[in-house]
Amino acid sequence: MKFILALNAIGTRTEDLVALSRAAEAAGFDGVMLGDHVVMPAAIASDTGYTKTGASPMGLQTPWPECLSAMAYLLGATSRIRLIASVLVLPMRHPLIVAKSVQTMQIMSGGRVVLGVGAGWLAEEFQALGVPFAGRGRRTDEAIQILRRLGASGQVEWKSDSYDIPLVSALPIPEHPVPIYVGGDSEAALRRAARLGDGYLTTLRTRASLQKRIARLSTLRAEAGTTDRPFEFIGVPADAVTPEDFAALGEDGVDACAVMAWQAAYEKTDPPLSRKLDGIAAFGERIISAL
């Protein structure tokens, strides 16, 4: 079982990311993950899917560091852990720009980058950026394929209603392509992960719910003919506390667990940095060392 420190939660201060990432590395975590929003609209009517009411827990005053910039900085501030985008809203960005950024990071870090992608849910954010919300699923699928081609050969040519790319190169490319994981709760996201992904990233879920996700992905991967491809399932467990709990998740097929370490995931609190650092160290001693 591997462990990922979730730094993509609301309330994590940008100024604390370096210290938290270094603490995670020292405590034995395999990686840290960062979320993504470019802007926060004043009015949000979109259904988040993350709360019981669908209301957004974020608002105009919620800070979000730019995901890829923060990942690059944290790669330079650490030496071993992976940096995981969880998840980059891919259809808000042009895939050539994303490819150039993540491939550069992959080369310079020695292969410590994981690009988690999602189709996005915040329609008002797309509107503010002048990007259509409709068709985002199709653009996400195509963008993943464009990223794959660039990662394999450094070149791509693509003609569709979504992207019109003449033959171009995007060199240099890393020795090993950047792994692309898919996040999202929808059936479409699961199908995308099965067809196009190297892994899947969940939201906060109970063990029973994670088991259902694993089973569904197994079925979808068999249907897509991708079961021979390496695939990592990263779960965010809502009810794992003891080493035995996490070991049981591993037996279920969860490859890595993403946790906040200092508190239950997604609590709307922002404890001081010292408490967070103590929580990371304690989690390493109590859970990671036991497994």
32 within some domain: no
| Residues 92-105, mean pLDDT to the nearest whole number | 98
Report the percentage of the chain scoring pLDDT > 90: 87
H-run or E-run covering 158: strand 155-159
**Within-domain flag for 73:** yes
- Does residue 246 have a pLDDT over 60? yes
Instruction: Provide the domain limits for residue 110.
Output: 37-178
Do the domain assignments include residue 215? no
pLDDT tens digits for range 57-90: 778 888 889 999 999 999 999 999 999 999 999 9
Q: Using the predicted structure, report yes or no on whether residue 267 has a pLDDT greater than 70.
A: no
Confidence of residue 165 (pLDDT cuts 50, 70, 90): very high
Confidence category of residue 111, pLDDT binned at 50, 70, 90 = very high
pLDDT of residue 57: 77
Query: How confident is the model at residue 265, as a pLDDT?
Result: 61
Q: Please, what's the b/e burial string for 3-42 (b: 16 or more CB within 10 A of its CB; e: otherwise)?
A: bbbbbbbbebeeebbebbbbbbbebbbbbbbbbbbbebbe
pLDDT in tens, 114-162: 999 999 999 999 999 999 999 999 999 999 999 999 999 999 999 999 9
Does 47 have pLDDT greater than 90?
no
Cβ-proximal residues to 255 (8 Å cutoff; 6+ apart), any chain? 1, 2, 199, 232, 233, 234
Does residue 103 form part of some domain? yes
Examine residue 109 and state whether it is found in any structural domain, yes or no. yes
Residue 254: its pLDDT value, please? 98
Position 206 in a domain: no
The CATH number linked to 126 is 3.20.20.30
Q: Is the pLDDT of residue 97 over 60?
A: yes
- Tell me the pTM: 0.95
- pLDDT value of position 62: 85
Structural domains counted in the chain: 1
Whether 59 is covered by a domain: the verdict is yes
Q: Across-strand partners of 257?
A: 3, 235
Residue 279 lies in a domain: no
